[in-house]
Amino acid sequence: MQKTPTWQRVVRYALVIIVVGMFTFPTYWMVTMAFKPKVEWSTAHGTIYWVPKNPTLENFDTVLTEYRGQFFRANQSSALPSIRSSIIVSIGGTLFALLIGTLAAYGLSRFSVDTGDLPWYVALGRLALLILVLLPFMVLWAWLGIIRYWYGILTFTILGIAADQLIGRLLGRIYRGPTGSLAFSILQLRMFPPMAIVIPVMIMWSAFKLIDTWYGLVAVYGVVTFPFVVWLMKSFFDEIPRELDEAAIVDGASNWGAFLKVVLPLAKGGLASTALFVFILNWSDFLIALLLTTRDWPTIPVFLNSLVSSEIGAQHGPKAALGLLAVIPPVVFGILIQRYLVRGLTFGAIKR
């Protein structure tokens, strides 16, 4: 083995330190800020405190109990209700997505339906989706008078469909997955910028009276994270030899029995890591919760947002404190399922 020259090693370590710093400094700053008194976290005095001089729990106190100020949307004086809201809707959304997503993933993994007619179903499905997404826009705009004529809506829709078909075809040419187009079109659901669909969803939800309810949020979270569950779980199911469920069926299990007793226990690790991933997505969502909640069910990110306004200024200290609290559930969840996460990673090794 040759020795690496000294200067190379210096550069290497310097790079490592810079990268590590970039990752850890924000965390460090948030954690310390949570324990700084107002004098230290506020920028008003022009002094920067790298380490808290007089550590205090004042920020936690403010954010959980005392804080009374002007809120942008959340008419609450404490963050406790929003913590409750976050926990309920994140867990609910995760369970919902796991339930439907795992079943869909198993179906896609096992019962390949890629026969002659499939492209048609996919095209139709995508079309329906597009109309669902675009139509509320059209209606809204027509109603507001942006597009005056109904045939304008039609033109717009047709243009949209054409664009979608074009994109779909191009993507289909590049991507050739094992279960092909159907699975891919599910992932395509997530290729819209969330901003584009959240307005129509809001319109729909207000019509269904689902705005500012926990089940309304759970439904949206479930649907939005569903594609991820399908894709992650499908890859886990693909790893499990098909013969295992077939053996179970031949041995006398029903199709459901084979799935529940043989396949699902083997996919535990995958299920756990998918759950964690989806939970984090839901937990940290801001946009959807911002638009779909008003008084009763704003989540932590929405509440955090309300800590900044023109009247009260930016409440950095309380914000950091709440941020620190918000980290706890995913971390605890992660630790709880760690055993399964490791299994999820070594999943390939248990084949036969």
Partner 1 sequence: MANIHLENVTKHFGRVTALQSINLEIHHGEFFCVLGPPGAGKTTLLRLIVGLEKPDEGNIYIDGERVNEVHPRDRDIAMIFQNLALYPDKTVFDNIAFPLRERKMPPEQIRTKVTQVARTLHIEHLLERKPGKLSGGERQRVAIARALVRTPRAYLMDEPLANLDALLRLEMRIELKRLQEDLHETLVYVTSDQVEAMSMADRIAVIYKGVLQQCDTPDNVYNLPANRLVATIVGSPPMNFLACKVQRTNGQLNLVHSGFGFQVVGADHPLWDCLCRALPTVQEVLVGVRPEDIKLYPDQPTHLIAFPARVAVTEPLGAETIVDVQLGRDIIKVITPPTEYFSEKQDVWVAFDMAKVHVMDAQTGARIYTTGAPGQLQCMLPGVCT
Interacting span for partner 1 (CB under 8 A) from 9-17, 149-157, 237-245, 296-304: 237-245
d(CA 112, CA 237): 13
Site membership for partner 1, residue 253 (CB under 8 A): yes
Identify the three-state secondary structure at position 204: helix
**Under DSSP, is residue 51 helix (H, G, I), strand (E, B) or coil?**
coil
CB-wise, 229 or 266, nearer to partner 1? 266
Q: How near is the Cβ of 278 to partner 1 at its closest, in Å? A: 24
265 binds partner 1 (CB under 8 A): yes
> DSSP string covering 277-301, please?
HHHHHHHT--HHHHHH-SSS---HH
Tell me if 252 contacts partner 1 by CB under 8 A: yes
Q: Are strands 313-314 and 308-309 parallel, antiparallel or unpaired?
A: antiparallel
Is 266 one of the binding residues for partner 1 (CB under 8 A)?
yes
Minimum CB–partner distance for residue 187 and partner 1 (Å): 24
Round to whole Å and give the CA distance between 57 and 52. 12
Smallest gap from residue 172 Cβ to partner 1 (A): 18
Per rule CB under 8 A, is residue 99 in the interface with partner 1? no
Q: Which of 115, 256, 331, 346 binds partner 1 (CB under 8 A)?
A: 115
The answer to whether residue 332 forms part of the interface with partner 1 (CB under 8 A) is no
Q: What are the φ and ψ backbone dihedral angles of 340, each rounded to 5 degrees?
A: -75, -30
Element (H, E) at 314: strand 313-314
- Scan residues 54-93 and list those touching partner 1 (CB under 8 A): none
CB contact at 8 A, 127 and 164: yes
Q: Which of 16, 19, 159, 246 binds partner 1 (CB under 8 A)?
A: 246
By the 8 A CB rule, do 317 and 38 touch?
yes
Which is nearer to partner 1, 114 or 212 (by Cβ)?
114
Stretch that binds partner 1, among 49-57, 144-152, 195-203, 239-247 (CB under 8 A): 239-247
30 burial level (CB within 10 Å; 0-12, 13-18, 19+): middle
What is the spatial distance between Cα 267 and Cα 271, in angstroms, rounded to a whole number? 6
Considering only residues 121 through 180, tell me which ones interact with partner 1, judged by CB under 8 A: none
Taking the C-alpha atoms of residue 130 and residue 189, their distance in angstroms, rounded to an integer, is 10
351 contacts partner 1 (rule: CB under 8 A): yes
Query: Is residue 113 a contact point for partner 1 (CB under 8 A)?
Result: no
Q: Is 20 in the site for partner 1 (CB under 8 A)?
A: no
Burial-class residue 256 by CB neighbours within 10 Å (0-12, 13-18, 19+).
Answer: exposed
Which residues are bridge partners to 313 per DSSP?
309
Gap between the Cα atoms of 190 and 171, Å rounded:
14
Q: Quick one: which of 108, 198, 248, 302 contacts partner 1 (CB under 8 A)?
A: 248
Residue 260 within binding range of partner 1, rule CB under 8 A: no
Stretch that binds partner 1, among 39-47, 103-111, 186-194, 257-265 (CB under 8 A): 257-265
Distance CA 308, CA 327 (A): 20
* 249 lines the binding site for partner 1 (CB under 8 A): yes
∠ CA 267-327-187, rounded to 5°:
45
| Min CB(102)–partner 1 separation in Å | 17
From 105, 218, 262, 304, residue interacting with partner 1 (rule: CB under 8 A): 262
Closest approach, Cβ 240 to partner 1, in A, equals 9
Which tokens sit at 10? 């210096």
Interacting residues with partner 1 (CB under 8 A):
115-116, 241, 243-244, 246-254, 257, 262, 265-266, 350-352
